[in-house]
Amino acid sequence: MQTASELAHNKAAAAVGLKAAVRILDKWRATGEQGEAILRVSHSTYARARRGDVAEIKLDSDQLTRISYLLNIHAALRMLFENPENLYGFVSMANHNPYFNGRTPLDVISSGDFAALYETFKRIDSLRGAQW
């Protein structure tokens, strides 16, 4: 069982992760609806995260995992691209590789399907050689 201190630390870390994920989604030019679907959060939670008001937000393990995948997609893109146009624009570019079939990575993950987020991460991560 976690202590009160551990719970507070985990909650603070989750809040920081959510704020970072929303900032990344904004830089990717995702709509609020897309961001809400990708992270599986309510409209009010997403709006609060955009404002930075996340002190009382509670996230479940699925939401935390989604945030983690999104942050890891961003980290992989940072390793691949130095220029902001590609770093933030890649997810909005049509991708004709298998799985994407002409869709953008943002379109794929905006379905809200957890498997789509995972598969998108896997494919972007493989571009850099997947050498974590």
pLDDT tens digits, one per residue of 68-112: 999 999 999 999 999 999 999 999 999 998 899 999 999 999 999
- Structural domains counted in the chain: 1
Binned at pLDDT 50, 70 and 90, residue 36 comes out as very high
What's the whole-number average pLDDT of the chain? Answer: 89
Domain enclosing residue 108, as ranges:
2-128
pTM across the whole model: 0.88
Q: For residue 117, is pLDDT > 80?
A: yes
Binned at pLDDT 50, 70 and 90, residue 132 comes out as very low
Nearest to 38 by CA among 67, 72, 60, 75: 67
Q: Which residue has the higher pLDDT, 53 or 65?
A: 65
